[in-house]
Amino acid sequence: MRRIAVCPGSFDPVTLGHLDIITRASQLFDKVIVLISTNANKKQASFTATERMMMIADATEHLDNVVIDILDGLLVDYVKRVQAVAIVKGLRAVSDFEYEFQMALTNKALYAGAETVFLTTSQENMYLSSSVVKQIAYFGGDISRFVPACIQEAIQKRLTQQGGDKFEY
C-alpha cells in the first residue's frame, strides 16, 4: 500500500518555507499531493489557483513523488477520495498550533481516517509567510531569500506597486 499524504494550503504565493515542508513530507511518504485550497477566511488571492499550481509545479519539479491539485471543498472529502493516510501541516509558532490543532480535531471528527502530521518549520523559515512575501514584494523589496528562484520574477511582476496586474508565467 502506498502512503499518500495531502499537504493543503493556499500557497499564495508558495515560499521557501512551504517548499521545505513539502520536501520533507516527500521523504516521509510515497506520494505527496500539494493541495491548493480555498480559505474562506482569507480575502481574494493574489494569484489564481492555476497560477499557484504552475508555480508550485516549477518549484517542486525535482521531487518525483509530488503532484499538485486544486480543491474547492472539504479537505476530508478529498483525503477520503484519494485514500491519503495523512494531512501534513507545517507549524511556525505556537500560534499556528492552536489553529491547526483545532482544524486537525475537526477533520478527525468529520472523517476518522483524517490523521494530521505536524512538521515544525526549519529555524530560518520561522517568520516566513506568504503575507510577508507579498508585503515585501509590493514595496519593491528583495524576496529572493524567501521564494524559489524559479518563480521569483513572476511573483515580483504581479505584486510590485508598479507591476499591478502583470503576470507572465
pLDDT digits (tens, 9 = 90+) for 103-129: 999 999 999 999 999 999 998 888 889
**Distance of alpha carbon 156 from its chain centroid, rounded?**
18
Q: Is residue 151 in a domain?
A: no
91 found inside a domain: yes
Choose the catalytic residue: 10, 37, 46, 130: 130
Catalytic-labelled residue, pool 18, 52, 89, 158: 18
Helices (H), 29-123: 49-59, 75-82, 94-110
42 is catalytic: yes
> Residue 133 domain-assigned?
no
Asked, for residue 23, whether it belongs to a domain, the answer is yes
How much is the pLDDT for 38?
A: 76
Domains of the chain: total: 1
pLDDT < 70 positions in the chain: 39-42, 161-169
Mean predicted lDDT score pLDDT of the chain: 91
> Is 81 one of the annotated active-site residues of the chain?
no
- Residues 56-77: b if buried by 16+ CB within 10 A, e if exposed: beebbeebebbbbeebeeebbe
* Identified catalytic residue from 42, 81, 145, 166: 42
Tell whether 21 is covered by a domain: yes
Looking up residue 99, the CATH number of its domain turns out to be 3.40.50.620
> Does residue 87 lie within any of the structural domains?
yes
Q: Which one of 31, 80, 92, 108 is the catalytic residue?
A: 92
153 lies in some domain: no
Instruction: Specify if 26 maps to a domain.
Output: yes
Distances (CA, A) of 63 to 25, 66, 166: 11, 6, 29
Query: Containing domain of residue 33, as a range?
Result: 4-126
